[in-house]
Chains A and B, each alone.
Chain A
Amino acid sequence: MAEVVLRDLVKTYAGATVRATDEVSLEVADGEFMVLLGPSGCGKTTLLRMVAGLELPDSGQIVIGDQDVTYLEPRRRNLSMVFQSYAVFPNKNVAENIGFGLRVRGTPAAEVRRKVEWAADLLQLSPYLDRYPAKLSGGQRQRVAVARAIVMDADVLLMDEPLSNLDALLRLSFRAELKKLVGELGTTTLYVTHDQVEALSLGDRVAVMREGRIAQCDAPTAVYDDPANEFVGGFLGSPPMNFLTGTVERDGSKLDLGGQSLAVPHALSTFAGRTLKLGVRPEAIEVAGGDGALQGELQVLEPLGSSALLTTEICGQPVKVQAPPTFRAEPGGSLSLRIPPEACRWYDPETSLLLEVR
């Protein structure tokens, strides 16, 4: 067990002009499950590979458990990894795959066998120990990769989109298993994903990355409820956060969206006469509310089973609304939508950063 500290990591790939990671600093506490989340090409995998030692940073420092490992070979870092492609050795059977790291380290055969059996039991692989990976399903290969990683008693567990190659149903069931497993082991974990649901469900903390930088790093609920900038709000959530642009009226009390207006908190009265952006989650908007309701035009209604997704327009600005599953209305009609003040997040249109109102 160990904490991981990344300081000002810069990496530019040969031939590229843009930095893959741009002075990224991050501290992962001992035993913490940290998720790196971001769209493809945001540098999250590069960051993980630098921690693993598979890429070397141009500058900056990596410390694992008080030991500097910035330029150390992967095998001396005492970490283990689950690869996106599983990287299960096709020429070794399941037992040999799981015990590979232990055997390379020179662990006694009896000890290897005991640990392999323990891991296989934990991941329900016991009946397949003699099989070769070609005879396993995708989900089973994934389990082998995880088993191989956990038998190592490593300081840090690295996972590079381990669930992305599984089908949707398997991903859902394995996600919960993984969370339970890692929670029991208590190993410091760095987990890379582009799937926001995975990030929110697994992480103790989520670091949302964009263009080689960390946009926000906080607990899943904090990242979801209070996105630090428009990018995070627009990336997290399905459908993502709605953004409405308007002008604050002269007296600083209302936001004019272009014909309809909405109350603005006192803290933002300095924005009087200037434009302001409002962010609101689709599930926070109430349909057919009373006071302070806005009029929106319903364009599309999508029944999704657990809810109904409405695409509406308020003063020409598109707004997605998540309504109860039984909600029915004809497209083209007018809806009255209430946006509760406590669900409003305010953003500066120039910097696109969250404005503090409390």
Chain B
Amino acid sequence: MSTETRPAEAAGRTLPPVDTAPLKRRRRQAAWVQAACIAVTLFMALPIVLIGLSAISSRDALAEFPKPFLPSEYSFETLLAFFEATGTIPALGNSVLVGVYTVFWSLVVGAPAGYALARHAFRGKNSYQVFILLVRALPIVVLSVPLATMFLRLDVYDTVFAVTLVHTTLALPTTVLITASIFVAVPTDLEEAAQVFGCTRWQAARKVVVPLALPGLAASSIFTFVLSWNEILGATVVTLSHRTLPAQVLTALDEASTAYRFAGGFALILPALVFIAVMRRYLVNMWGTTLR
């Protein structure tokens, strides 16, 4: 650069003024992106905040009109009432159990299938991948009545086990496809190296592949847990007295007060958020490497 400018200066050449228009354009674009980010965040977060605030408002504050953004009076009365209501605590327990079991079983059954899809070429692989999604094509409404009949006959109706079965089935297609793409990202070389250095295939998978796939597996399990947590229809049909929380709230919603609804809504959001927060630890890079 310096060798170029020097002769120009020596010749007394005047350079054109610095054009700042592109810079301004860039800044304007950045400002738009910022605004869009804020808008989307508000759109996602505001309902959660409002429900949360309403849930901890007192009954009187809730009835106020016009409603201030921040409630005039805080109270855990309604929330406590919600949790003290018959069936809430057992339903919460059922929901957590079903969620955890579903995550467990869908990984136990789905991850090996995903691994096979990622590592092996076999006849009908593509059709298998499409076919596996067909499970989701059948509406739960259609499935649930025959399922209920079958569960009654097998004597598992109205149990956590029955709901787990339904949810695991629903979660499996996505678990298989997500884990397949995770295992594809783990280099085959590493597995072969482990085998050369004394591991069986199973040991190689456990010591090398699974630790590297952990972030992806965590993402997949968040997806599964939230799916199970939010699933209502199947859970309502195959249970009667052992409801999951969403099913319980849905059934109780009709005769409930406004306060109960807000408290119920908040209680439904909270555990899913906690689960995501816990799993997030495994999502971000663990050894200074980002997942390829």
Partners in one complex: yes
Known: A84-B189, A132-B289. 20 other contacts (CB 8 A): A14-B121, A53-B196, A54-B192, A54-B196, A73-B195, A75-B195, A80-B196, A85-B187, A87-B187, A87-B192, A89-B190, A89-B208, A90-B289, A91-B208, A91-B211, A101-B197, A104-B194, A104-B203, A132-B288, A134-B289
B35 at the interface (CB under 8 A from A): no
Q: Name 30 interchain pairs, CB-CB below 8 A, sorted by A.
A: A52-B192, A52-B196, A53-B195, A54-B195, A73-B195, A73-B200, A74-B192, A79-B196, A80-B197, A81-B193, A83-B189, A83-B192, A83-B193, A84-B189, A85-B187, A87-B189, A89-B190, A90-B190, A91-B208, A100-B197, A101-B197, A101-B198, A104-B194, A104-B203, A104-B207, A132-B289, A134-B287, A134-B289, A148-B197, A152-B197
Main secondary structure of the interface of A (DSSP, over half): mixed
A105 within 8 Å of B (CB atoms): yes
Considering the complex of A and B, which 7 residue pairs feature the smallest CB-CB distances, nearest first? A101-B197, A87-B193, A104-B198, A87-B189, A134-B288, A134-B289, A91-B211
Residues of A close to B171: CB separation below 8 A? none
> How many angstroms from the CA of A275 to the CA of B28 in the assembled complex?
76
Binding site for A on B (CB under 8 A): 121, 187, 189-190, 192-200, 203, 207-208, 211-212, 286-289
Name which of B190, B196, B288 has the most chain A CB atoms within 10 A of its CB.
Answer: B196
Tell me if A135 is interfacial: C-beta within 8 Å of chain B. yes
Q: Smallest CB–CB gap between B260 and chain A, Å?
A: 48
| CB interface residues, A 85-101, toward B, < 8 Å | 85, 87, 89-91, 100-101
Chain A contacts for B211, CB-based, 8 A: 91
A114 to chain B, nearest CB (A): 18
Q: Give the Cβ gap from B12 to chain A, nearest Cβ, in Å.
A: 41
Chain B residue contacts of A132, Cβ below 8 A: 287-289
Contact among B187, B198, B212 with A75 in the assembled complex (CB-CB below 8 Å): B198
Residues in A neighbouring B193, C-beta threshold 8 A: 81, 83, 87, 89
B216 → chain A, closest Cβ, in Å? 13
Contact of B286 among A54, A81, A91, A148 (CB under 8 A): A91
Known contacts A91-B286, A132-B288; decide if A74 and B189 are in contact (CB<8 Å): no
Band of interface residues on A: 20 to 34
Bound Cα distance A52, B190 (Å): 14
Of the candidates B197, B212, B289, the one whose C-beta lies within 8 Å of that of A104 is: B197
Closest CB in chain B relative to A346 CB, distance in Å: 45
Main SS of chain B's interface residues? helix
A91 CB to nearest chain B CB (Å): 4
Chain A residues in 8 Å Cβ range of B195: 53-54, 73-75
Q: Enumerate chain A residues within 8 angstroms of B192, measured Cβ to Cβ.
A: 52, 54, 74, 83, 87
Return the chain A residue nearest B186 by Cβ.
A90
Q: Which of A143-175 contact B (CB under 8 A)?
A: 148, 152, 158
> What's the minimum C-beta distance from B207 to chain A, rounded to whole angstroms?
8
Q: How far is the CA of A246 from the CA of B211 in the complex (A)?
A: 65
Task: Find the B residue at minimum CB distance from A15.
Answer: B121
Contact of B196 among A75, A89, A90 (CB under 8 A): A75
List chain B residues, Cβ under 8 A from A134.
Answer: 287-289
B287 x A91 contact (CB < 8 A): yes
What sequence of 0s and 1s flags, for each residue 112-133 of chain A, a beta carbon within 8 Å of any chain B beta carbon?
0000000000000000000010
Kindly list chain A residues whose C-beta atoms are within 8 Å of the C-beta of B208: 89, 91
Q: In the docked arrangement, what's the CA distance between A134 and B192, Å? A: 20
Contact of A91 with B212 in the complex, beta carbons under 8 Å? yes
- Whole-angstrom distance between the alpha carbons of A73 and B286 in the complex? 32
Closest to B290 in A: A134
Chain A nearest CB from B208 CB (Å) reads: 6
Cβ of A61 to closest chain B Cβ, rounded Å = 20
Residue numbers in A under 8 Å from B200 (CB-CB): 73, 75
User: Which chain B positions have C-beta within 8 A of A79?
Assistant: 196
Asked if B286 and A75 sit within 8 Å, CB to CB, the answer is no
Contacts of B187 in A (CB 8 A): 85, 87
Report B-chain residues with C-beta under 8 Å of the C-beta of A14.
121
Query: How far apart sit A74 and B200, CA to CA, in the bound complex (Å)?
Result: 9
Query: Contacts A83-B193, A89-B190, A89-B208; is A105 near B198 (CB within 8 Å)?
Result: yes
- The complex places the Cα of A71 from the Cα of B227 at a distance, in Å, of 46
Contact with B along A316-330 (1 / 0, CB 8 A): 000000000000000
Residue of B nearest to A75 (CB): B198
Q: Which residues of B contact A100 (CB under 8 A)?
A: 194, 197
Residues of B contacting A101 in the complex (Cβ-Cβ under 8 angstroms): 197-198
